[in-house]
Amino acid sequence: MKVILLHVIYIAATFTNGVNNNVKNSISKRILAIALPSMGSSMIMILYNTVDLMWIGRFGKEAVASVTLAVSFYNMNYILNEIFGVASMVLLTRRWGEGNHEEFQRIGRQIAFYKFLSGLLLLLVTYPLSKDILLWMGSGKVTIDAAVAYYKWRALFLPFDFLLGTMSTVYRSIGDTKTLFLINTIWGSANVVLDPIFMFTFHMGVVGSALASGICETAAMFHGFIWAKKKWNIWVLKVEKPQLSLLKKIFKIGTPSLLDALNWDVSRLIIVKIFSYIGVTATAVFGVYSRVLDISWMIAFAIEGAITTLVGQSLGEKNKEKALTVFKEGLKISMLIGAAIAAFIFTFAHPIAVLFAKEKDFLEASAEFLRYASFGFLFMPFMNVSYGTLIGGGRTIDMLMISSIGIWAYKIPLLFITAHFTSNLNLLGVVYASFIVFSGMLGLYIVKKEKWLHVEV
């Protein structure tokens, strides 16, 4: 562990030498100014999801199971969104950095048009198939009537939900995450209020939750675009003639992002299968770890988004030195965040486990697993810094390389071998943590090759 930490400190010191302190301090403040509101938005989402599940839980475990199925199916639609989401971030940050706001607006309109059509297509395809798909997902053990009703009401808003993503990308590309945080807070709060009104006052049950979410997300989308018009004179909700040259560029940048998302989604299913091979306790322990990982990932993702914005804008300005400084300062900030997260999880592993586990064996196993896996959280932001830098530079193919090598050549084989020969949960925790270390260091190595500084988009 000491050797790894010394190596990381050496890399960070190498990266951060030779940059004017005033410039570094300015960029560090800018990274935090973008990242902190993004963290706030993530916390709002966590709060909303928790309260939403609390309301649904009043209808019983069958309702929770049904909505879990429906939401899992609904979230699969976002895989298609990956093609446009990352590509739009790359293109829009470059144009904003160039100061070409007219082109920024034109690209935003094109992407909004394509995303609306994608959402509409998914609605038309999945709506009639929802019952059969949810029946398969429920394995005949979960009553799907409520799940089908929830999904159908939720799917009606798919085109607008995709546009909501474009609205968020517009603000992130500009670097105005404070306004985005305010919008998310307003409509997240409205959603919390509307949930019980539709579910209990209007007697709509779990369908009321789907309707409340659809209405509030659509309202947030329109609200965001209107504020962007007032504040930045950017209006995206206007149909323009599609340009195939832009679409080709979107697919060139976005396809690796789609494959990267598939890497993570498919591997997660396999990992659940590996843990279930050991038994129910192991599977439940992985569920606790996954929940902690998801929350921690949201914090690291905020840094990733800030770095993507500032790297993209810097390269749009043709200022490669500034782009490098963004990466270096992001790396320093991520080291502090990673250390804080790792220390917190290691120190409070037992109290964290108590939130999810009641049985003594499950509780102790979860706490031990978190302690063994905690050192991986020290390196988790490194992977996000690498991702953010590569996305900002338009090198999404490198991002795909990191996940492909890390997942399929390292994590999955080692987890399988460990589970098959030892069934030791703590060793699995070490493997999972070492995967994060491996991927983070691989990301830093690829970034240091600096190919991302020379991509024209």
Average pLDDT over residues 102-106: 95
Average pLDDT over residues 210-214: 96
Note the pLDDT tens digit of each residue in 119-135: 999 999 999 999 998 88
pLDDT of residue 333: 92
Q: Which of 22-26, 179-183, 322-326 has the lowest mean pLDDT?
A: 22-26
Average pLDDT over residues 297-322: 93
Note the pLDDT tens digit of each residue in 291-309: 788 788 888 889 999 999 9
Hey, where are the domains in the chain?
A: 1-50+245-457, 58-242
Note the pLDDT tens digit of each residue in 404-450: 999 999 999 999 999 989 889 999 999 999 999 999 999 999 999 99
pLDDT band at 17 (very low <50, low <70, confident <90, very high): low
The full DSSP string for 39-97 is HHHHHHHHHHHHHHHHHHHTT-HHHHHHHHHHHHHHHHTHHHHHHHHHHHHHHHHHHHH
Residue 263 has pLDDT above 70, yes or no: yes
pLDDT of residue 297: 83
pLDDT of residue 1: 44
Residue 10 has pLDDT above 80, yes or no: no
Residue 41 has pLDDT above 90, yes or no: no
**Which of 95, 110, 415, 386 is closest to 238 using CA atoms?**
110
Average pLDDT over residues 145-168: 95
pLDDT of residue 175: 95
Mean pLDDT rounded to a whole number for the chain: 89
pLDDT of residue 5: 45
Average pLDDT over residues 217-239: 96
CA distances to 82, 264, 454 from 79, rounded to whole Å, are 5, 11, 28
The phi, psi pair for 424, rounded to 5°, reads: -90, 115
Percent of the chain at pLDDT exceeding 70: 94
Q: pTM (2 decimals)?
A: 0.88
Average pLDDT over residues 209-232: 96
HSE (CB half, 13 Å, CA atoms) of 346?
Answer: 14
Count Cβ atoms within 10 A of the Cβ of residue 238 and give its class: 0-12 exposed, 13-18 middle, 19 or more buried.
Answer: exposed
Radius of gyration, alpha carbons of the chain: 22
Percent of the chain at pLDDT exceeding 90: 63
Residue 19 has pLDDT above 60, yes or no: no
pLDDT of residue 255: 93
Average pLDDT over residues 322-336: 94
Note the pLDDT tens digit of each residue in 270-287: 888 888 888 888 888 887
